[in-house]
Chains A and B, each alone.
Chain A
Amino acid sequence: MSKVQGTPVANLSAVQPSLAKSLRKRKGPGLRDVSIRENNAPNKWRFIRWGFLIFINFLFFASFYFDIQILEGSLSASRLLGFHMADPFASFQIMLASQLVKVNLVIGMVTVVIIYIILGGRFFCSWVCPYHLLAEFGEMLHKSLIKKKIIKKNHVFDRNIKYYFYAIFLILSLVTGYTAFEVINPVSMLSRLFVYGPGIILLWVVFLLAFEVLYSRRAWCRYFCPVGVSYNLIGWVSPFKIKWNINKCSNCKKCQRVCMVPFVLQETVNKGKAEYVVSGECTRCGLCIDACEDGALKYNIRYLDKLI
């Protein structure tokens, strides 16, 4: 690393002025010092992800309308080929509110935890959650409105609010004996909408999206959603992560520009301290992989490469 940072830029500018210019601009630990970029498919993972998300939500729809019994129920609880699955946050709320521990619910919860340890925690958010898809379009709209100066600025909240929400709604479940969050949960709301038809409560989803587009970018997913918190916690222990190759990175920071939770890349791309994007906030959406023209970011299974 020190070698590159010490490259005599002054001498280089005489031989290769363009490269010297690109090196001077660079701020960060990446080691790549050629400006030749690998040709990448710019939207590969995005489209695979959208396809997967729509397919999963279609399965819910298909189970009800065409009686194709692969994935029945909705995102709060379902059955995959007959095996129970239950959202961890909803399950916790129910156990606290009803003060009953039912075997099926525990089995469903454990199944979901195991599945998302394999798939990578907040993989749920970007690959399964229907609200995420809407919010993604909302984010695009928000960015273009800012670019056109129709909106002055993006308002940033405290990222920890969602952890407070997680605790508050669990405590409220215990105290009031009612799962209050489920009434304002846009994830299960949208999931039910696909299967069982819409209701007036959809105005709440519209309100949230409007808030995100006009006031604070990606507010629900970033700052508030306690459903994602469960998957966030699972994400820390999941070995399925984004791997960063310091030798290929030229520090263009394009990954950070497209990332939906940009701070997760700090330890790697900004500081060069870690080989993997370790944070549980990472949704494994693959936008950074698509954006990286150096091929420095890849999906990888941590520890596995060391074993082999």
Chain B
Amino acid sequence: MANQKVEKGKLTRRNFFKGSTLVMIGGAIAYGAASVPALRSEELLLRPPGALEEDLFLASCIKCGQCLQVCPPQIIMLAKIDQGFGLGTPYIVPREGACILCKGLPCVLACPTGSLNHDISEGSEAEMGLAVISKPETCLSIKGKDDLVYELENLRDSKQSMEPEKLSTILTRLINKLTSDELEQWKQKWQLEEISVQTISQVLAKLDKEHISWLVDFTTGTQQAAEACKICLETCPIKEENPIVFETRKDAQSGKEYVIPVVQKTCVGCGVCEMECPTPEPSITIVPRLKWKEETA
């Protein structure tokens, strides 16, 4: 009886041993085969510059995060499991922080696997995606509105307190665009000796809600306000050949003339325009991996 019992115990243990091995092996194969279609994400993520074609990128990325470590503006993020296929692969959300195409592309140099292809060495060679005027109905350029006036009006009308940082960038941009006559006017208003970065903070210290209305009127009267918003082109890091050209078109129905930004072949899809677009929802957005065609324009 005792012997039988031992044998029985041995048998079940051996069975468990063999069975569990088979279960584990089967599980691993099933997981591997099932994970590929199951984890594939519907939406493409915007990858850092130099990324290989998406399938090859996913196959070759070792998920070490070195691109993110060397990124000077710190805008690269690592995908989480709920973002589909590539857990730990790098991506960029341009509205939150766009790639500024640093000189020498440090992220590409840091990549140990060549997932970010070492064949490119300058931002202008990148093919991340393409900018698209996704919301022409809100685009200030099409509306013919100056972006500085738009932003100041928003500040005037909003009930929230002013963000000094945002205001400071607006003022800096405004001052850079003023003509010499307008600068004199500016100096007189704020009783300044000269115009510099320090004086902007002086102005900021004096500013309150009432002054904003004056600012709106002043800016509307400046020469630069005659031209509509061109911020997407102004902030674009590609300087050699303009990736955005403003074309004048005629509306087929009303016959009204309007200006529209048209994305050119030189756009690499870095996303700075999407980040800087002043409308609440960006009127210009990046479509990852999209290639430029004559028709898209």
Name the segment of A39-47, A74-82, A242-250, A300-308 touching the other chain.
A74-82
Residue of B nearest to A99 (CB): B59
Name the segment of A25-33, A102-110, A264-272 touching the other chain.
A102-110
Q: Is the CB of B24 within 8 A of A182?
A: no
Please indicate the chain A residues that have their CB under 8 angstroms from the CB of B35 in the complex.
Answer: 178, 180, 183
Please indicate the chain B residues that have their CB under 8 angstroms from the CB of A192 in the complex.
Answer: 63, 65, 78, 88
Minimum distance in angstroms from B273 CB to a CB of chain A: 27
Main secondary structure, interface of B, reads helix
Residue of B nearest to A165 (CB): B28
- Per-residue CB contact flags for chain B residues 148-172 toward chain A (1 = under 8 Å, else 0) read 0000000000000000000000000
Q: Is the CB of A199 within 8 A of B112?
A: no
Please indicate the chain A residues that have their CB under 8 angstroms from the CB of B36 in the complex.
Answer: 176, 178, 180
Residue of A nearest to B80 (CB): A199
A63 contacts chain B at the CB level, 8 A cutoff = yes
- Per-residue CB contact flags for chain B residues 67-102 toward chain A (1 = under 8 Å, else 0) read 011100000001011100101100000000000000
Query: Known: A105-B113, A224-B24. Contact between A180 and B31, CB under 8 A?
Result: yes
Interface residues of A in 75-114 (CB under 8 A from B): 76-79, 84, 86-87, 90-91, 94, 97-98, 100, 102, 104-105, 108
Q: Is the CB of B81 within 8 A of A182?
A: no
- Cα A64 to Cα B25 with chains together (Å): 38
A57 contacts chain B at the CB level, 8 A cutoff = no
Please indicate the chain B residues that have their CB under 8 angstroms from the CB of A195 in the complex.
Answer: 65, 69
Minimum distance in angstroms from A199 CB to a CB of chain B: 4
Q: Is the CB of B63 within 8 A of A72?
A: no
Minimum distance in angstroms from B99 CB to a CB of chain A: 18
Please indicate the chain A residues that have their CB under 8 angstroms from the CB of B85 in the complex.
Answer: 178
B262 contacts chain A at the CB level, 8 A cutoff = no
The tally of residues in A whose CB lies under 8 Å from a CB in B reads 53
Minimum distance in angstroms from B81 CB to a CB of chain A: 4
Name the segment of B14-22, B130-138, B186-194 touching the other chain.
B14-22
A134 contacts chain B at the CB level, 8 A cutoff = no
A206 contacts chain B at the CB level, 8 A cutoff = no
Please indicate the chain A residues that have their CB under 8 angstroms from the CB of B66 in the complex.
Answer: 72-73, 77-79
Minimum distance in angstroms from B220 CB to a CB of chain A: 45
Interface residues of B in 10-67 (CB under 8 A from A): 16-18, 20-21, 24-25, 28-29, 31-33, 35-36, 39, 55-56, 58-66
Give the top 5 A-B pairs by smallest Cβ distance, nearest first: A77-B64, A172-B32, A98-B60, A97-B59, A102-B114
Could you pull out 29 A-B pairs where Cβ atoms are within 8 angstroms?
Answer: A64-B69, A72-B66, A74-B64, A76-B62, A77-B64, A77-B113, A78-B66, A79-B66, A79-B112, A87-B62, A90-B62, A97-B59, A98-B59, A104-B112, A157-B20, A157-B24, A164-B21, A165-B25, A179-B58, A182-B62, A182-B63, A182-B87, A183-B35, A184-B31, A192-B78, A192-B88, A196-B65, A196-B68, A201-B80
Which A residues contact B (CB, under 8 angstroms)? 63-64, 72-74, 76-79, 84, 86-87, 90-91, 94, 97-98, 100, 102, 104-105, 108, 155-158, 160-161, 164-165, 168-169, 172-173, 176-184, 188-189, 192, 195-196, 199-201, 223-224
